[in-house]
Structure 1
Amino acid sequence: MDNTLVVWNPCSGETSKIIKPRNIHNGSDVYAHGKSTCDNEYKILRVHQQGNPFIESCLVEYEIYDFTSNSWSVVGETRDWYIPGRHGTCVDGNTYWLTYDYSPTEMSKALRCFDYSTERFGCVSFPGDPLSYNVYGLSVTREPQNLCILTSSRDEEVHDIDIWMATNIKGTGDMSWSKLLSVKGTHSQQFLGFHAGMSFSVDREAKVLLHPTKFKNSSNCLHIVGEYKHIKVDLHDVESKRSNHVMRGPTLVQVQQGSLGLGTWKVAPVTKFS
């Protein structure tokens, strides 16, 4: 209520108020929480973006909150890119975002990682040929944690869905990727309601992706999509403003049993992709 940040430990229930940053909180601010590998210290990252990125290049300042000194410090700024969404994806202590890069002719997507040890952003390579697909979102698998990226073919008649899993990242920013799931279908985008920054989760063992949606005047739905199937689960009696955001999804077995305590689940018929 006093416009300050609060860190909450869900295991112990403890909370800790954080001192205010140099500038007042802004609705476009991006926050993330990570850990330095060199000193094993947790840190808070704040990305403060000033200006309208759709009109001109905005100023992006990023600062770190140090729990040891209980203070903020500016660690960098740029006008070369900006973060369109507020939710990053944390893997092994670092945080990843899909960003937009400015160029003389157009804006292009890039994958960036913030390293809490060096306190710097770095660019990470996309899988395959980035010009052949659209990038929609990031996620992470269960243990062991691996970064995942969801892409869709730019072919308007095909709309193939691919889930890529990162297997190794080098110091140069080059990432090794393997294709975890590939879904063929001309209507896959219609089923999933794809949009930039969409939330999804991946079940590596069952090789399915889970994507929640909520449409006007309708109940919450969970889409379970595999190579040749699409299952739509209606989540009744779920009243949550953030129900369309999934950080880590349940396993397929949990979904089938409806064991998450989310109310009565009804499964729609399986839809085969052509």
Structure 2
Amino acid sequence: MADLPKDLVEEVFSRLPVTSLRGARSTCKNWNTLTKDESFFKKHIAEQASTELTVVMVIEFRVYLMSLILHDRPSITCQGKLTSLDNSDRVDISLVYHCDGLLLCIAKDFASFVVWNPYMGQTLWLKPRSPHPRLDCKSSCRKILRFVDPLGNEFVEYEIYDLSSNSWRVLDVTSDWHIDFYARGVSLKGNTYWFSRERYPAKPAVGEPFKVADFLICFDFTTERFGPRLSLPFHTGFECTVSLSSVREDQLAVLLQVDYLLRMEIWVTTKIEPEEVSWNMLFLAVNMEPFLDFQFGMSQGSFFLDQEKRVVVVFDKDTDMRFTRNIAYVIGEGGYFRQVDLGESVEYHRPFGCSYVPSLAQIKQ
């Protein structure tokens, strides 16, 4: 088998899921070298992208790579599961952040986290500087930003971990805005964005409604500073929820839900940088009342966007209020609505999913 022509081996391996390459690499040195070569990498990614989308999912505290096919009958199938350095199955993961082909997986007990490159089959376990529970995003595969939240609601300091130097340090930065404890940061082009609200809003005049400014906040990992407030194409009230997602790692998608209207809107950026943002016209607006009688739980849930097919996939629980199943809701224009059953739900936590783009980035051990 190891003597097969290189072109034939490349053709066969290019059709394998990302996680299946691990077995091929362990077979012989030639195959290991070939599957990590840049030319093969480009061919493999092109082959996979032409047939399906790859999504990272956290279900029942396990991390999976899933292939997602969006046709008249949508399907989601498992490609592989994250295992630890000792190949144990017992890896309880509560949160995952994706950036430049690397995943930051945060343990359920917040006592450790792992940086994982599924394509290269590399993992690196790390421990936080202190035991406080809030641990957030990474950027450019080289740095991790952590929000230290000992009081449970107010951030008092920010820490950054540098993978190249294997060290933590406290940042000398302050903020006058608030990010909800459950809000997920989204990494784009080496920076990370959050939906935020003003921390100290002005008291309204007598008879005036109470309003809190809302916006996006970006952390620039090059300058290691937070940028200015970035405008949103809407204004939210306390009856609204907002969630973020990435589109091809160069655009930001925002999902807005208005609870009392059971209305869902999707907006996508045309340009986004740490100090500037512009928005396209409304990508998708759906009245959810004919399909569901509840609002998606975006505080724990997530969504994935396919611009070409103009559909959104929202990962959540079932609708019978017992939350016994994990479901992917596929929603599009013209009343298009499908459900994909992701299996029985033992835990209350909602499934999480985000797009995944493979990378040859090396993780320094």
Answer yes or no: same fold by TM over 0.5: yes
Say if 1:136 and 1:194, in contact at 8 Å, map to a contact too. Answer: no
Match status 1:49 vs 2:145:
no
Bigger drift between 203-212 and 187-196 goes to 187-196
Alignment of 1:236-247 (within 5 A): 237=343, 244-247=351-354
Q: Kindly indicate whether the alpha-carbon contact (under 8 Å) linking 2:262 and 2:295 is maintained by their aligned counterparts in 1.
A: no
> Which of 231, 237, 250 pairs up with 1:145?
250
Give yes or no for contact 1:124–1:175 (8 Å, CA) kept in 2: no
1:200, CA displacement in angstroms? 0.8
- 1:127 corresponds in structure 2 to 232
- In structure 2, stretches of 5+ residues that fail to align are 1-108, 204-210, 357-365
Deviation at 1:49, TM superposition (A): 1.6
Deviations 1:119-162 (A, max 9, x none): 11124433334258934211112x363100012357x4x54422
Counterpart of 1:246, as a letter, is G
Residue 112 of structure 1 corresponds to 217
- For residue 3 of structure 1, report the CA deviation from its aligned partner: 3.6
CA RMSD of aligned residues (A): 3.3
Are the equivalent residues in 1 in contact too, given 2:303–2:314 (CA < 8 A)?
Answer: yes
Q: In the TM superposition, what are the counterparts of 1:164-243 in structure 2 within 5 Å?
A: 164-169=267-272, 172-184=275-287, 186=289, 190=293, 192-196=295-299, 198-215=301-318, 216-235=322-341, 237=343
Task: Report the CA distance shift for 1:188/1:168 in structure 2 as closer, same or farther (over 3 A).
Answer: farther
Measured in 2, the distance between the counterparts of 1:236 and 1:16 equals 28
Aligned residues between the structures = 234
Runs of 4+ that moved beyond 6 A: none
Shift of 1:174: 3.8
The answer for the alignment partner of 1:92 in structure 2 is: 189
**One-letter identity of the residue aligned with 1:11:** Y
Higher relative contact order (CA 8 A, sep 6+): 2
Match of residue 64, structure 1, among 128, 135, 160: 160
**Deviations along 1:2-37, whole A, 9 cap, x unmatched?**
94443222222223343642xx2222x1221112xx
Which residue does 1:74 correspond to in 2?
170
Structure 2 match to 1:7:
115
> Secondary structure at the residue paired with 1:63?
strand
Identity of matched residues, %: 26
Contact between 2:316 and 2:351, CA under 8 Å: does it hold in 1?
yes
Contact 2:216 2:232 in 1 (8 A): no
The question of whether the paired residues in 2 share the 8 Å contact of 1:161 and 1:183 is answered with: yes
Between structure 1 and structure 2, the one with the greater Rg is: 2
Contact 2:300/2:352 (8 A) holds in 1: no
Distance 2:311 2:213 in 1: 28
Q: Deviations over 1:52-72 (max 9, x none)?
A: 43xxxx233112112232211
More deviation in 219-228 or 198-207? 219-228
Write the distance in 2 (CA, Å) between the matches of 1:131 and 1:238.
34
Give unmatched runs, 5+ long, in structure 1.
Answer: 36-40, 250-274
Comparing both structures, which one devotes a greater share of its residues to helix? 2
